[in-house]
Amino acid sequence: MRKIAACLFFMGVTALPAKAQEPMLGCLARYHTTTMVQEDFPGSLGAYKNRPCRLTINVGGVGARAPSSGAKHIEFAERPKHGKISAKTATTFVFLPDKDFTGPDSMLVRYHMKSGKTMSIRFAITVS
């Protein structure tokens, strides 16, 4: 029997310092992924109307013993239809919904590791 390592995360991000042109960042995310199998894992992302949503994925495991230094870069394999997405670091992205948009959207984010492996998360996005 083959064992598969997996992680499940629930992250809430609120009240982060913002730049003058950028309102406070806030979003909720839930995802599950591993590099041990090649498939798109499900994730969900809750964002607020007209506000950027910043998310940092912990790709090394759980806690302080798991630095995200193993990530090489982010690929947006499928971009959202109702907003913009941009990479800030190898493990951080910012999603900005289209002006006044509320409703569902989706995107496929692929994390490329320095080891050559990848992790993919298909986020179901809800903007409210």
**Pairwise pLDDT comparison (107 vs 68), residue with the higher score:** 107
| Residue-wise DSSP of 36-84 | SS-SEEEEEEEE-TTS-EEEE---S-SSTT--GGGEEEEEEEE--SSEE
pLDDT for position 15: 35
Averaged confidence pLDDT in the chain: 76
Length of the chain: 128
**Pairwise pLDDT comparison (61 vs 77), residue with the higher score:** 77
d(CA 72, CA 83): 25
pLDDT for position 87: 96
Contacts of 20 (CB under 8 A, 6+ apart): none
- Is the pTM here over 0.85, yes or no? no
d(CA 14, CA 70): 26
**With 0-12 CB in 10 A as exposed, 13-18 as middle and 19+ as buried, what is 64?**
exposed
Q: What are 94's two structure tokens?
A: 């910012």
Domain 7-13+23-127 has CATH 1.10.3470: no
